[in-house]
Amino acid sequence: MESMTPAKPTLWKQSSMAPERDHKAPDDLEGDNEDGGVSDIDPGFKLMYLANEGDVDSIKELLDFGTDVNFRDIDYRTALHVSACQGYGDVAKLLLENGADVDPKDRWGSTMAPMHVRNVREVPEYEIDPRELDFTNSIEITKGTYRIASWGGTQVAVKIFWEGTADEDKVRAFRDELSLLQKIRHPNVVQFLGAVTQSSPMMIVTEYLPKGDLHEYLKRKGALKPATALRFAMDIARGMNYLHEHKPEAIIHRDLEPSNILRDDSGNLKVADFGVSKLLKVANRVREDRPLTCQDTACRYVAPEVFRNEEYDTKVDVFSFALILQEVWNYT
């Protein structure tokens, strides 16, 4: 049987945002010396090569020799970029312990974001280049959770994650909310537009509704006509019914309150902010790994069983909906 030559590792693909292109391996890495090694190449490039190979011991030896751990190649990649793309956690840990920049950006803006992909083909279709988001004169909206930005000349709402030190809960919250928003499309639910997942800070981008939320509207408007109150009730009910009837898994909002219900240009209401929402598997109930606290959401509108860490289902949203209807009707 004809022997097969092992494929040579490639450094050129090591960015999640880099375009696909063909490169021949550089002469320095061809192994022109007798043993086919890389002992004669520049220490910085050697560090990149060893990171690509996952050779922890050789990397440690190279760093002990004084090689710059933050050496960058022509595309501004570092060894940390390479190790992350290859999935070598032990190499990344060693580099970080030796002073590697925790959030280096390469030519394409790729960083060490927690949803980082290994190949440009894996970048999700909804990915937005953060450079396309203009935060000039940006202001906070929706309880400070979102900021207004301009994207292609259109105002959008941007929820920003990953400011400062990240933790597992923040990453999980981002992934969960993003997963939910991709599944949702209804006239009475705020529309998901895209996300930034391949650089830090990560962001979720949704449509911007300039007329604000129901809570502020009720305070400002005062008395409502019964017909308006009824229309508001129907808008919220349609949005929540869509979420609860979603297949194959119902979506429990868990944070339904007037400040999370927004008004569009026509005065119609849309359910928003799915930061603490949950998928409910068919014929099952939900119980939290970590109970909600009043720091996670407003206490007034949340069903007691959620805070008591008991099993619950879509009825917890019905509880919140009933309180909102009562509040709206009080303004008639």
- Separation CA 47–CA 45 (nearest Å): 5
- Kindly report the number of other CB atoms within 10 A of residue 321's CB atom: 17
Which of 106, 255, 273, 317 is an active site residue? 255
Residue 83: exposure state from Cβ atoms within 10 A (0-12, 13-18, ≥19): buried
Residues in the chain: 332
- Kindly report the number of other CB atoms within 10 A of residue 287's CB atom: 12
CB 254 within 8 A of CB 306: yes
CB 80 within 8 A of CB 92: yes
57 is catalytic: no
Backbone angles phi, psi at 24, to 5 degrees: -80, 150
Residue with tokens 């301009």: 150
Cβ density class 97-110: b for 16+ within 10 Å, e for less: eeebeeebbbebbb
Q: Which residues are catalytic?
A: 255
